[in-house]
Amino acid sequence: MEILKSYLKKNIKVYILFVVFITIFFIMFYLYNLPLEALIYTGSFCFLAALVASFSDFVNYRESYKKLKFLEKNILNDLEDLPKSLDIRIDYYHKIIEKLYEELEKLTQKNRQKNTDMDDYYSMWVHQIKTPIAAMNFLLDNEEVDLKNLQQELFKIERYVEMVLTYIRLDSISSDYVITKINLDEVVKDSVKKYATIFINKKIKLNYVSHETMVISDKKWLSFAFEQILGNSVKYSRADGEITIKTYENRLVIEDKGIGIKEEDLPRIFEKGFTGFNGRYEKKSSGLGLYLCKKTLDKLGHHIEISSKVGEGTRIEITFPKEDTLRD
């Protein structure tokens, strides 16, 4: 009954025109004194033809209605079954729906992949953070607590927590920017200070000449990116090793004399989850530090390059646009 009411409402104008046409038809027959038999036959034929056409159209309307009701509950599975129509406007509606469906599919796939990546990272992160926690438990079980090593393991946990928070916020970093003129020297000093205990414990020599170099950037996010680089240099430097940091007019360079990176690993060094030979061999890498570093620097509009030789060390250079750089 609902379908019939809807159909009648949709075609009410057609029925009114038909009644008007039949009325005019009868009036013309009456005015010209045409035989009543011809009037009845002609009127009956017109009515029957209209009834058949209307019934056929109603059947198609009902089928379309049923398909649409079905699609309402199964839109993601049966979009191709949208009812066909001779109305060009309906065809455009179909195209719009199909376009929206395609966009929805892309977003669904993107979110599905993002959730998979998040699950993979969390699993890896939980496994990775267990190491410093276990080390801290071991240190605390001893009668004489080694505060230096305890601080070092606590620092590792802080880094892992910072990394996972950055990973979560990576897609919305742009809304968290505070772009100002910053002193590169302060970024370097603050970052080095965080790694001071590890520098001392591993007896790593630091070569850095302090001088002011002003660049346009976001201090918090630039510091995060630089700390990922510095952390890797410290991690893969040998005991009694050496790390050199230099600042130029529009460049920040960090060099170490660590174990180096294999040439075949360099093109993939910034890929998410890529640990390379060093990471797999040392079992210290999550493959996310340099990935997050690169993504952050890209969003800041800075450029990063890396060169390395196995057994000799690694050199990483961050370049700032010259027009965005001022030097005091």
196: amino acid identity, one letter: A
Which candidate, 229, 159, 241, places its Cα nearest to that of 200? 241
**pLDDT of 207 higher than 70:** yes
**Given this model, what pLDDT does residue 154 score?**
83
How many other C-beta atoms can be found within 10 angstroms of the C-beta atom of residue 152? 20
Please name every residue paired with 317 in a beta bridge, in sequence order, or none if there are none: 253, 305
Which of helix, strand or coil describes residue 77? coil
Strand partners, 319: 251, 303
What is the pLDDT confidence band of residue 227, given thresholds at 50, 70 and 90? very high
How many whole angstroms separate alpha carbon 163 and alpha carbon 114? 17
**H-state helical runs in the chain:** 2-10, 12-31, 36-74, 88-141, 147-169, 184-194, 196-201, 219-235, 276-282, 289-300
Quick one: DSSP state of residue 259?
A: S
For 26, list phi and psi in degrees, rounded to 5: -65, -40
Question: How far does Cα 20 stand from its chain's mean position?
Answer: 62
Question: pLDDT tens across 260-276, in order?
Answer: 888 888 888 888 777 76
Mean pLDDT of 8-23: 77
Total length of the chain: 328
Q: Where are the beta strands (DSSP E) in the chain?
A: 180-183, 205-208, 214-217, 242-247, 251-256, 303-309, 313-319, 325-326
pLDDT of 158-175, one tens digit each? 888 887 777 777 666 555
Rounded CA gap, 49 and 15, in Å? 13
Residue 181 φ/ψ, nearest 5 degrees: -80, 120
Q: How many CB atoms lie within 10 A of CB 219?
A: 18
pLDDT band at 67 (very low <50, low <70, confident <90, very high): low
pLDDT-derived band at 328 (thresholds 50, 70, 90) equals: very low
Q: What's the mean per-residue pLDDT of the chain?
A: 78
Helix (H, G, I), strand (E, B) or coil at 319: strand
Q: Which amino acid is at 154?
A: L
Max Cα separation, the chain? 125
Q: Residues 291-299: what's their mean pLDDT?
A: 89
**26-35 long-range contacts, CB within 8 A, separation 24+:** none
Contact, 217 vs 246, CB < 8 A? Answer: no
User: Which residue shows structure tokens 């729906």?
Assistant: 97
Cα-Cα-Cα-Cα torsion 43, 44, 46, 49, nearest 10 degrees, comes to: 180
Question: Comparing C-alpha atoms, which of 226, 163, 161 is closest to residue 192?
Answer: 226
